[in-house]
Structure formats: C-alpha cells, structure tokens
Amino acid sequence: MPGEVIDRPNPEPLPSNVPDSVRDLAVKLDKITLPENVNASLKEFRRAACYIAAAMIFLKDNVLLERDLTFEDIKPRLLGHWGTCPGLILVYSHLNYLIRKHDLDMIFVVGPGHGAPAILASLWLEGSMERYYPQYSRNKQGLHNLISGFSTPGGLPSHINAETPGSIHEGGELGYALSVAYGAVMDKPNLVVACVVGDGEAESGPTATAWHACKYINPKESGAVIPIVHVNGFKISERTIYGCMDDKEMAALFTGYGYQCRFVEDLEDIDADMGNSLEWALREINKIQQAARYDKPISKPRWPVIILRTPKGWSGPKKVEGEFIEGSFRSHQVPLPKAKSDETQLKDLQKWLESYRADQLFAKDGSPTDNIRKIIPEKDEQKLGQNPVAHDPYRPLKLTDWQKYSVKKGGEMSCMKAIGEYLDQSLVDNPTSLRIFSPDELVSNKLDAVFRHTGRNFQWDEFSQFQGGRVIEILSEHCCQGFMQGYTLTGRVGIFPSYESFLGIIYTMMVQFAKFGKMAHEVP
Amino acid sequence: MPGEVIDRPNPEPLPSNVPDSVRDLAVKLDKITLPENVNASLKEFRRAACYIAAAMIFLKDNVLLERDLTFEDIKPRLLGHWGTCPGLILVYSHLNYLIRKHDLDMIFVVGPGHGAPAILASLWLEGSMERYYPQYSRNKQGLHNLISGFSTPGGLPSHINAETPGSIHEGGELGYALSVAYGAVMDKPNLVVACVVGDGEAESGPTATAWHACKYINPKESGAVIPIVHVNGFKISERTIYGCMDDKEMAALFTGYGYQCRFVEDLEDIDADMGNSLEWALREINKIQQAARYDKPISKPRWPVIILRTPKGWSGPKKVEGEFIEGSFRSHQVPLPKAKSDETQLKDLQKWLESYRADQLFAKDGSPTDNIRKIIPEKDEQKLGQNPVAHDPYRPLKLTDWQKYSVKKGGEMSCMKAIGEYLDQSLVDNPTSLRIFSPDELVSNKLDAVFRHTGRNFQWDEFSQFQGGRVIEILSEHCCQGFMQGYTLTGRVGIFPSYESFLGIIYTMMVQFAKFGKMAHEVP
Ligand SMILES: Cc1ncc(C[n+]2csc(CCOP(=O)(O)OP(=O)(O)O)c2C)c(N)n1
Ligand SMILES: Cc1ncc(C[n+]2csc(CCOP(=O)(O)OP(=O)(O)O)c2C)c(N)n1
C-alpha cells in the first residue's frame, strides 16, 4: 500500500454514525443577499488582496503585470504560504464591512500566522502599512516594495510578527491564537476579537482546550471573541481532523464546548453566507452582553462560533503537472514551485495572476480603487491594523509601596505570603487592569491572600459566576500563558504564577512572547 | 466579594441551555444487579484498598489499628493525595472483576498519578508488590512496610513512577495519560488499556486533543482504550470544567470527539452501574473489532467512554473544623492535616480508618481474605501489576545494514532522504512493531520515502482508513510524543521526528519520559 491517493479536490468528510437529531444543533439562518454594491466591494477587495498575496510569493519585479512575466521577474527563492491566504482574506474583507456597518471596536488575531501575505496585502489596501512604513505607500512604488520585498532579507517576514500592524500574536508555532484572543477581551467590554483558528492548528492541545475559555468570560465586564475555524481540510501534507468530521460531529463537539455553531460553506454565494453569519454572531453576542449588563445575566450563555469551510488555496491554480492544487494540501506553500525555471509554470502563474484582473482594482498610480476603499473602515483607529488596543495601549498600574509588605529586620515571613498580600492590595487598586491566571495552584503557591477581596471568575460555576473575580484557575498552563499574553499585549497586566517545574510546559510560548515583546519595542 | 463559598458537598453542575434532545446521546443501560458474592468481594476489595491508602498517608506504626491511635503513630510529615484514591480504587476493583470474567489482556494507565496510594494498595492486595519487592509481602510485616514507608525517604514514592508494577506512565505533570494509553494499544489487537483521566487533567491541552486519538486506531490491527473520565468535580482548590458541565454538555462534547458516552453516577449502587457500564464498553469494543477483523469494518466507529461521577475523597471524613471535606477540594491531599498534633483530628482519623473494618478484611497474619482474592485475576500475568506488556516486553527490530543507504565517498545526498529510505525498508521489515508519529512534517522533513510501501493511518479519512498505514500525522506534538511513549514502553519502537524548534513544545514530556526510562532500567 503506497501513500493514499486523494482523487478529487476539497473532499468532503465521511458521514458519521451520530444520530441525525444532532444536525439541529447547527444554526440555520435565512439567506439574505448582501446589497449589490457591498457584494462588489467585498469581491474587489478580495481580488486585490489575493492578487497582492500571490504576487508577494513570486514576484520581484513587474508587480502589476504591465508586461508578460519572464523568469527574471520571479524571486530567486520562493517562500510563503498560499493555501491559507484566500480564507484569511475572505474573513478580513467581511470584518471590514462589519466594523463599518456597526461601528465596531475590533481586532483580528490570526492563528495561521504563516498566512502573512494575506494580512500584509489587506493592511496595505487599508493604508495601515503606509501609516507605519512610508516605503509601503498606497501607490505603485509602495506596492512594488511590498511585493518584491516580501520574504527577502530586509523585507517583510513570511510570518505575522510584532512588526505587523495590529497584531498581538506571533505566527510560527501554532496553537495559541485562541487563548490570546480570549485574554485580549477580558475587561474590555466593547472589544470584539475576531480569531481565525486553522483546522490544523485546532489539532494542537493548546487550541483544543482553549475552546473552554468562553466559560471564563463574564459578559458584563468583558468583550467577546468571534472564533472562526478555518476548515480548509488540509495541513502541510495530511488531511485535518476537523476536515474529516461531518456536520453532526462538528456541531456536537462545539455544542459540548459551550458554543452555538454556524457553518459557512456556500461556495456559490459565500458573501451572503459569511455576511449573514457574522451578523448572527454579533446579534448573539449583543444578546448575551445586554442581558448581563442590564442585570439579567444568562447562565451558561452559548457563544457563537463560525465554522468556515472553503477549499485550501481557493482561486489559485487548479492543477499542476496533473495534480490537484486548489482544494488540496499542495496549495499549502508555493503552488508553482518551478515558476522560475519552467515555462509552463511561469505561464500558469501569469494566467493565475491575470485572473484577478488587477487592471480593474488599482488606479493608474497603483492605489486601490474607490470601490475597494468603500468597505474599509473610514476612521483610522477602526482599521484592523490601527486599533489603539493593539498599539501602545499600556496604562501603568496603580501600585502601593512594596516596602509596607516587608517584615522587620530579623523577622520572618513566607515571601509568597507577602507577595499574596501585595497582590491583594494591587487587585483592589486596579479593578479592571490586573488579573491572575493560575493552573489551579494559587492556594498551593501561598498566594491566597488575594481571595480577601476578590474571587474566581468561572462562569460555569454557580458559586463564582457573574461576580467579576480577578482570578482564573484552569488546569492548562497553555491557557494561562495565552490569556496572560492577550491581556498584557492589550495594555493591562496579567500574572501567571506557576510551579517552576511545570513552567517548562510553556517554555516555547515564553520564548515566542519574549521575542514578540522585544521586537515590538524596536518597531518605531 | 471574597473567594466563593461552596455551600454543600459534591455540588451538581448548573443546567445548560443545550436542547434536551441531546440528552439521548448518553447511553442508557438496563440496571442489572451484580451477583451477591461479586458485590461483596468488590466492596471488600475497596474497603481494604481504601483503608491501606488512607493509612499510607498517615501512619508510621500501628498500621492495623491494633490499639488506639496516638500521635506517635502518625508520620512526622503528612504527604499524599487522598481525594482521587477512592475513585481509582473503585475502577481498579472493577477492572479486576472484568479481567477475571472475560479472561482479558489489560493494563491500566492512571492519569492522576498522585493517587499512588490507591494503586500501591491495590497492587499489594493482588500480590504484585510482593512479586517484585519481597519487603512488601502479603502479611503483617509487608503491610507495615508498605504503609509506614510510603512517601518517606527510601520508601515508596508519592506518585506513580517506573518503580510501580504495571505502570507505563509517570505521575506528576498531568495531561499525557490518554495519548500514552492510545500509543500502547497500537498493533496489540488483544490488548485493552483502561485509562483514568482526571477531570482536572482533562483541562490540559494535551488531554483535550488526545480524545481525537480514537480516530487513529484501526480496530483490525490494534486494541482498544476504555477511557474513564473521573469527574470528582474538583482540582487542588477550584472546581473543574467537566464538573460544571451537565449531562447534555458532556454528551455533546464526547459525541463530537467520536465517542458514545455513558455516565456512571448511581452512588446508591455504584457497583451495578460501573459493572454494567464496563460490560457495555467491552461489548462495543468487541463489536467494532469483530466487524473490522471479519472484513466488515465500521466507518467512523463510535468507541465507548465512561464518565464516572463520584464525590472527591468518597468515604473519607465528611467535615473537619466545620468545612466539607468529602465531595470538596479539601479532600485533594491530606484531609486531616493536623492529625499529629490535634486530638480531634487524631480521633477523626481513627474513626475514619475504623469505618473500613479492617478486622474483617485481613486475616490474622495480615493477608487479605479469600473474599477479596476472589475478584483478583487468578493468573499472575493477568494482574494489572504483572501483565508482561508492561514488563520487559521489548523485542528488537529486524534492521538492515545502514551502510547500504550511504553514498559513495565524494557523492552527495540529503541525509534526511537517506534516512527516509532506511525507514522505508525498516517499516517493511517490521510491519507490526515500528511506527512513525509526526506533527504533519514527514514530507517537509524529507522522510517521504516511507510512503513507498505504507501510508497514513487516519480512520476518519476515506483515503487511508482500514489500510494499516504505519504513519500518523496529527498536528499535536503532545499526541505524537504520547503515542511514541505508549508504543515504545510496551515493547515496540515509535519514531517521532520533529522540527528542532518545535521540540521544545514537549520538552518536559521528554524529560519525564527519559526519567521513566532511566528508572525502569534500574528497577530489578
Ligand atoms: C506547533 C506547530 N507544529 C508544527 C508546525 C508546522 N506547520 C506549519 S503550517 C502547518 C499546517 C497548518 O495547518 P492549518 O492550521 O490548517 O493552516 P492552513 O491550512 O490554513 O495553512 C504545520 C503543521 C507549526 N507551525 N507549529
Ligand atoms: C501540568 C500540571 N499542572 C499542574 C499540576 C498541579 N496539580 C497536581 S494535582 C492537580 C489537580 C488534579 O485534578 P484531577 O486531575 O481532577 O485529579 P483528582 O481530582 O482526581 O486528584 C494539579 C493542578 C500538575 N500536576 N500538572
């Protein structure tokens, strides 16, 4: 038996043996077609962003295809991940529309951070690149710099990092987007964080447990996450677990995790499907938040989750050398790896790029057309790349003199107990900007003095729901670290005490976080 | 607001807003009362094991309570975890009965490895301690050594480790039991691994994703795991997520993961409930395995899972100093922490220990009564502590000369590609004792030569189900490492290639595994 042969693109999951009644757990919505001009704008934004993203992977010159491509135009080393980009761009376009329509305060946490081309292209279109990097101005020269410089020395990185406007999460090691998103909304009642989770990433332990994080969100004091699971069915070279689960299995799983689950998968009119579903998600969030804020909190609210099923590498090459690319793992990275030396692949690249009709999307000077701009948020601070929540949000804590908590010379006290006292006072003094995340070790770490004025914040527990406790104790070092990162990178202070021996569990997360922090400081 | 106050023991979960139809996903069974003599034996085994486990935590002398307890009898430093023990012992007693009744080949993987007293007590009762450690013979002296030596220098450790007969999984850092259990059953068609997962442990990322492991088990070639989620509702000092989820939420979650879910929670007749449920689990496993082995494989079989809801610290002290202990987080470690200095606590300890009526459980010479022995497997190799699968199971691989895969002096070849060729041949030569576990990086690590003669083993995927592929690619370094550990510690060879930068993700798992291996070599 050789490695399995997948005989068609975008294969559907096998039917499960789960009872059919479970199908009703998936949310049904009336199909409302979007206004024609919105539809057109969304589609043009996407064509432009997909064009730029694809060009970034391949072109070092001739970035607007003003003449036929030659081998000379192709980068010497082709780097970048195409497969995830069309889905990320689909989401980006709709978030833009949603922000505009509802005047939202929103940021975007992107799990598949290897999809940097998608995000950088969208940021360029909305003007967030030029805002921070004048070399990426919204004109021909800026576009040339963006495309030709991507993934080359001195140019833009292949993964989302601290240099990416609006990002609070480093790409690379997968699994932490969701917990970071949940940390970011805590104590930000008006913030909505859209979070894309890859179906590959979803197989990681840290993500698998982070779904429970909704149970630690008090809708009175905190904002909301809209998780969007991007089920494009493939990882680097194998199918994904979620991609092989049918509607019933997925609906059961997410119901169990605490969500209402909506599938977005109408490839014929994906805009209506995505638009209606995001509207629904916002409505559900509003319902939950309003109830909590007007003293009629819903116990165990079922938050919305969106399961987005689109082909991997959608709109890219369909077949290369007889093999499926679109809707297959082969679109994960560079779909035309021989574009620099093979005539056919070069031609395929030209055809692919031409399919987006860049001439209709960019004005003579290279800037995006008005039609595209019409779905981009008007106010700069509402653009996903410029929301102040992700830029310089830090407000120092109010801290009392630590010396008050010391003992007299010659006296004795457990230093952890002293720290507990100090934290107790600090939590009192900073009721909405200091939190403690602990893997159920607060008491055993002798920090329980903090419970003098606060409690735990576990909404599924009758004894601590609705009360605004400042402590979350979940037996997941990954969640604790992720919450801490999201909370801290949006300007507040999260503390994650742990046994030293168990800190190694999240050693690589700490390294990634430290790197992010260091780079963030170095970015102008 | 101070820390929350829990006003009753063993609090039930809040009702969810999940539709009632979901309730039908939980498996219903007719209640069949067990034969009276079996019932009696089970109960006596448990009383004896609970007695010993409790005594291990407290007593350094007078271990059979032959006179009233004095402070002198109490260990100077009280160490150990009581809360999880009664549940582990309940499971142990029923596994014994099941093995005997069905002539099973079974091992036991214990997630809450801090419950070592429960396991050591059970191992002593079945004679597996004396088999490997003559000092723990089944008589008075042996019992004295077992109890008084526990968690003291030179005595038995407080957590399950390589010295614990029958164990293939180190206690301590929680989260890996389930993936280890799944690794152990691969290519062992007749093996059943019972695996207890704590509801605290279940919050960890590595466990949360390991539930999907059933999707990588081919019932034709591999055995089965019976996962038993021990929902005693509390961790060290906070409630658990699973403990706050109602039947509907739990049934939905586990259905989504791919299981049929059975609640065991009839505290009035827990033996009937547990007995019937384990019988059901075996029946379901048989059905799935027989179908696969007689060429009528079930696509997406729904494996059984048992959700065991019992009070934490069941049968221990009910209240101490006005606080609930049984059914509360306060039973997690030492329920009577002042037993060495406080008269009341010493008396409470005496009352507690007396409640098990040790005089009825041990003969004059200190050995367990016949009634207890009647549910212990007769054959030594079927005892959970002595199954050869966990003891010295290693059979060397058939390996070809690696030099055949080298290149001529001066020649050139990617060394990863050469290794791929060598692995290809090795997989061919060792069709049931060599496997590769990879976080979807096999191709990108240039090891894809292995796909010349084998494929992937993903039962949810129509293109690789039922085919016995030797490769599992799950985007979870934790699962890969856990599978590798379980497979390797039961005598086969698992390979887990990874990018160096991502190996840090499971750094602490590697350390724990290395420690286990080192100690296992040192154990006589
Ligand atoms: C923890 C971790 N393990 C392995 C990898 C290697 N890797 C990079 S991308 C990828 C596949 C990701 O799949 P998915 O999350 O579905 O993203 P998409 O398909 O949208 O690209 C893998 C396994 C990684 N980045 N992080
Ligand atoms: C990864 C990890 N984090 C934290 C701990 C500290 N710890 C030891 S026991 C425990 C609670 C375990 O709860 P559960 O799994 O439900 O076991 P049980 O209640 O049966 O004792 C915790 C948090 C640990 N052992 N491992």
pLDDT in tens, chain B (524 residues): 456 889 999 999 999 999 999 999 999 999 999 999 999 999 999 999 999 999 999 999 999 999 999 999 999 999 999 999 999 999 999 999 999 999 999 999 999 999 999 999 999 999 999 999 999 999 999 999 999 999 999 899 999 999 999 999 999 999 999 999 999 999 999 999 999 999 999 999 999 999 999 999 999 999 999 999 999 999 999 999 999 999 999 999 999 999 999 999 999 999 999 999 999 999 999 999 999 999 999 999 999 999 999 999 999 999 999 999 999 999 999 999 999 999 999 999 999 999 999 999 999 999 999 999 999 999 999 999 999 999 877 889 999 999 999 888 888 889 999 999 999 999 999 999 999 999 999 988 999 999 999 999 999 999 999 999 999 999 999 999 999 999 999 999 999 999 888 999 999 999 999 999 999 988 86
Q: Report the DSSP pairing between strands B303-309 and B323-324.
A: unpaired
Domain at A402-522, CATH class = alpha beta
CA–CA distance from A420 to each of A413, A488, B362 (Å)? 12, 20, 48
Contact B244 A207 (CB under 8 A): no
| A273 residue type, one letter | D
**Beta strands, E only, B131-190:** none
| Distance in angstroms (rounded) separating the CA atoms of residues B407 and A55 | 40
Query: Nearest by CB to B462, which of A14, A245, A301?
Result: A14
CA–CA distance from B486 to each of A175, A216, B494 (Å)? 24, 34, 9
Residue from B461, B470, B481 whose CB has the most chain A CBs within 10 Å, to mutate: B461
| A386 residue type, one letter | Q
DSSP code at position B408: P
Mutate to test the pocket of ligand 1, among A110, A235, A512 (most ligand atoms within 8 A of CB): A235
Per-residue pLDDT, A309: 98
- Residue identifier of the C-alpha nearest atom 21 of ligand 2: B84
Pocket of ligand 2 (CB under 6 A): A 439-441, 475, 477, 502, 505; B 81, 83-84, 112, 114, 173-175, 198-201, 204, 230, 232, 234-236, 240, 312, 332
CA dihedral A109, A115, A121, A123 (to 10 degrees): 20
User: With contacts defined as CB-CB under 8 Å, which chain B residues touch A24?
Assistant: 19, 21
Residues 6+ apart with CB under 8 A from A136: A124, A129, A130, A142, A145, A146
Q: At what angle do helices A270-293 and A36-58 cross, to 10 degrees?
A: 110
Counting every residue, how long is chain A?
Answer: 524
Closest atom of ligand 2 to CA, residue B203: 15
Pick from A182, A160, A232, A164: nearest CA to A202: A232
Residues 6+ apart with CB under 8 A from A169: A109, A110, A113, A160, A176, A177, A180, A181, A485, A486, A489, A516
Per-residue pLDDT, A488: 96
| Distance in angstroms (rounded) separating the CA atoms of residues A39 and A28 | 22
How many interchain CB pairs under 8 A, A with B? 284
Per-residue pLDDT, A2: 59
Q: What are the structure tokens assigned to B292, written together?
A: 């696969």
ipTM above 0.90, yes or no: yes
DSSP code at position A15: P
Exposed / middle / buried, residue B444 (Cβ in 10 Å: 0-12, 13-18, 19+):
middle
Tokens 């070592």 belong to residue? B116
Please say whether the dihedral angle defined by the alpha carbons of residues A170, A175, A180 and A181, taken in this order, is positive or negative: positive
Return the SS3 of B29: coil
Contact B244 A212 (CB under 8 A): no
Residues 6+ apart with CB under 8 A from B37: B374
Q: At what angle do helices A270-293 and A85-102 cross, to 10 degrees?
A: 50
| Distance in angstroms (rounded) separating the CA atoms of residues B206 and B213 | 11
Residues 6+ apart with CB under 8 A from B231: B199, B240, B242, B243, B307, B308, B309
CB B465 within 8 A of CB A12: no
| Distance in angstroms (rounded) separating the CA atoms of residues A51 and A73 | 16
Per-residue pLDDT, B4: 82
CB B266 within 8 A of CB B219: no
Among left, alpha and beta (phi > 0; psi -120 to 50; other), residue B166 is: left
CB B192 within 8 A of CB B387: no
Pick from A510, A520, A488: nearest CA to A183: A488
Helical (H) or strand (E) element with B124: helix B116-126
Q: What are the structure tokens assigned to B222, written together?
A: 């591999």
**Distance from the alpha carbon of residue B420 to the mean position of ligand 1, in angstroms:** 22
Pure H helices in A211-321: 247-257, 270-293
Among left, alpha and beta (phi > 0; psi -120 to 50; other), residue B291 is: alpha
In CATH terms, are A36-390 and A402-522 the same topology?
yes
| Distance in angstroms (rounded) separating the CA atoms of residues A354 and A358 | 7
DSSP count for chain A of H helices, then E strands: 15, 10
Low-confidence residues of chain A, pLDDT below 50?
1
CA–CA distance from B319 to each of A93, B9, B359 (Å)? 59, 10, 25
Please say whether the dihedral angle defined by the alpha carbons of residues B150, B155, B159 and B164, taken in this order, is positive or negative: negative
Closest atom of ligand 2 to CA, residue A444: 6
- 3-state SS string for A174-227: CCCHHHHHHHHHCCCCCEEEEEEEECCHHHCHHHHHHHHHHHHCCCCCCCEEEE
Phi, psi at residue B294, to the nearest 5°?
Answer: -110, 35
| Distance in angstroms (rounded) separating the CA atoms of residues B264 and B261 | 10
- Nearest residue in A to B250, CA atom: A256
Per-residue pLDDT, A4: 82
User: Minimal Cα–Cα distance from B490 to chain A, Å?
Assistant: 24
DSSP code at position A102: H
The CATH architecture to which A36-390 belongs is 3-Layer(aba) Sandwich (3.40)
CB A421 within 8 A of CB A405: yes
Pick from B29, B27, B105, B117: nearest CA to B307: B27
Per-residue pLDDT, A41: 98
- Nearest residue in B to A461, CA atom: B244
Phi, psi at residue A137, to the nearest 5°?
Answer: -65, 160
What are the beta bridge partners of residue B197? B229
Pocket of ligand 1 (CB under 6 A): A 81, 83-84, 112, 114, 172-175, 198-201, 204, 230, 232, 234-236, 240, 312, 332; B 439-441, 475, 502, 505
Per-residue pLDDT, B2: 58
Mutate to test the pocket of ligand 1, among B438, B440, B503 (most ligand atoms within 8 A of CB): B440
CB B389 within 8 A of CB B109: no
CB B314 within 8 A of CB B85: no
- Residue identifier of the C-alpha nearest atom 11 of ligand 2: B235
- Residue identifier of the C-alpha nearest atom 17 of ligand 2: B198
Q: At what angle do helices A85-102 and A116-126 cross, to 10 degrees?
A: 40
Helical (H) or strand (E) element with A516: helix A507-522
CB B301 within 8 A of CB B460: no
User: With contacts defined as CB-CB under 8 Å, which chain A residues touch B428?
Assistant: none
| Domain range list for chain A | 36-390, 402-522
CB A474 within 8 A of CB B241: yes
| Distance in angstroms (rounded) separating the CA atoms of residues B194 and B210 | 15
CA dihedral A208, A212, A217, A219 (to 10 degrees): 110
Residue B226, CA atoms < 13 Å, CB-side half-sphere: 28
Residues 6+ apart with CB under 8 A from A203: A235, A240, A241, A242, B209, B212, B474, B475, B476, B479
What are the beta bridge partners of residue B303? B259
| DSSP structure string for A361-395 | TB-TTSPBPHHHHTTS-SSGGGSTTT-GGGSS---
Q: What are the structure tokens assigned to A125, written together?
A: 């279109």
Name the closest ligand to CA A509: 1
CB B197 within 8 A of CB B469: no
Contact A475 B200 (CB under 8 A): yes
Q: Report the DSSP pairing between strands B303-309 and B224-231.
A: parallel
Per-residue pLDDT, A294: 97
Residues 6+ apart with CB under 8 A from B255: A18, A22, A249, A252, A253, A256, B25, B261, B302
